[in-house]
Amino acid sequence: MELKKNPKADLTKNSSMYFVIGLAVVMLVVWRALEWKTYEKTNEYDVSMNVDEDLDEEVPMTEQIKTPPPPPPPAAPEIIEVVEDEEEVEETVIESTETSQEEEVIEVEDVEVEEVFDDVDVPFAVIENVPVFPGCEKESNKRACFNKMMQKHISKNFRYPEIAQEMGVQGRVSVMFVIQKDGSIGGVRMRGPDKNLEKEAARIIGKLPKMTPGKQRGRAVRVPFSIPITFKLQ
């Protein structure tokens, strides 16, 4: 026996349409819920400007800068009165010093000018009259005799220092001295390779005898003289 289905009792009929309508209603409700806004009904806003309160604040006053007073004007210059000089000034008359042909010219005798000699040293090589070594008074060439006697004096008084011999020191000592205006020896200076050799050279020069001083233009002068003393080991 077959069952017959009543078309009015079909539950799936128009179900898609109902689904679309329901979906539209739900979306409308959700949209309205999201767009819903509420406002306060009380009207308590004070839109007036508080001008009086702003004016009550103390406004600082601008401080005035005091400028110094201008300097006083310069004093007026004093009036200088010109007073006439009542005293008479005698004019000075300058006489001419030119001689005329009528005046006589007196001849003046030659005046002797005394030469002034400074206390200077005259080298042995250029002095007019060399110092005279004792024993050279009668020699015609006193310069050559002086040199000869100096060499003889050094050879006679020469003594090699023992300490210089032990140390093997040798060399040449340059000796400089001055023959004073009284013939004595002074201003002795030495320069050599060793102090012991210099000391021995000074001892030899210190034994020189007093000489006749050198002369320049007839006056006694100081005469510098230098001579080497050689120390050589045998």
* Alpha helices (H) in 135-213, listed in sequence order: 142-157, 162-167, 195-206
Task: Measure the N-to-C terminal CA separation of the chain; round to a whole number of Å.
Answer: 175
| pTM summary value | 0.49
For 118, the token pair is: 């400074």
pLDDT at 58: 57
Residue 153 lies in a domain: yes
Q: What is the pLDDT of residue 72?
A: 78
User: Tokens 């045998």 appear where?
Assistant: 234
Task: State the Cα–Cα distance between residues 232 and 160, nearest whole angstrom.
Answer: 9
Residue with tokens 């400074």: 118
pLDDT tens for the 234 residues of the chain, in order: 555 556 665 666 677 888 888 889 989 988 888 888 776 665 554 544 544 454 455 555 555 556 777 777 777 666 666 656 555 656 666 666 665 566 565 565 655 555 555 578 899 999 999 999 999 998 999 999 999 999 999 999 999 999 988 899 999 999 999 999 999 999 999 999 999 999 999 999 999 999 999 999 989 999 999 999 999 887
pLDDT at 66: 61
Provide the CA 233 distance to its chain's centre, in angstroms: 53
Decide if 195 is inside a domain. yes
Give the C-alpha separation, 152 to 166, whole Å: 27
- At 96 the pLDDT is 60
| Whether 168 contacts 233, CB under 8 Å | yes
Exposure string over 193-206, b if 16+ CB within 10 A, otherwise e: ebebbbebbbebbe
Residue 117, domain member (yes or no): no
Distance CA 228, CA 234 (A): 19
Number of domains the chain contains: 1
Domain hosting residue 182, numbered range? 142-231
Residue 9 to residue 24: CA distance in whole angstroms = 26
Is residue 52 in some structural domain?
Answer: no
Handedness of CA 48, 52, 58, 60 (dihedral sign): positive
Query: In this predicted structure, what is the pLDDT of residue 131?
Result: 94
The CATH number given to whatever domain includes residue 187 is 3.30.1150.10
Looking at residue 48, the DSSP 8-state letter turns out to be: S
Domain assignment present for residue 224? The answer is yes
Model pLDDT, residue 121: 87
pLDDT at 19: 86
DSSP string, 100-152: PTTSPPPP-PPPPPPP---S-B--TTT-SBPPBPTT-TT-S-HHHHHHHHHHH
Give a yes or no: residue 206 inside a domain. Answer: yes
Q: What is the pLDDT of residue 99?
A: 59
Residue 131, in any domain of the structure: no
On whether residue 209 sits in a domain, the answer given is: yes
pLDDT (0 to 100) of residue 51: 46
Q: What is the DSSP letter of 8?
A: G
According to the model, what pLDDT value does residue 18 have?
84
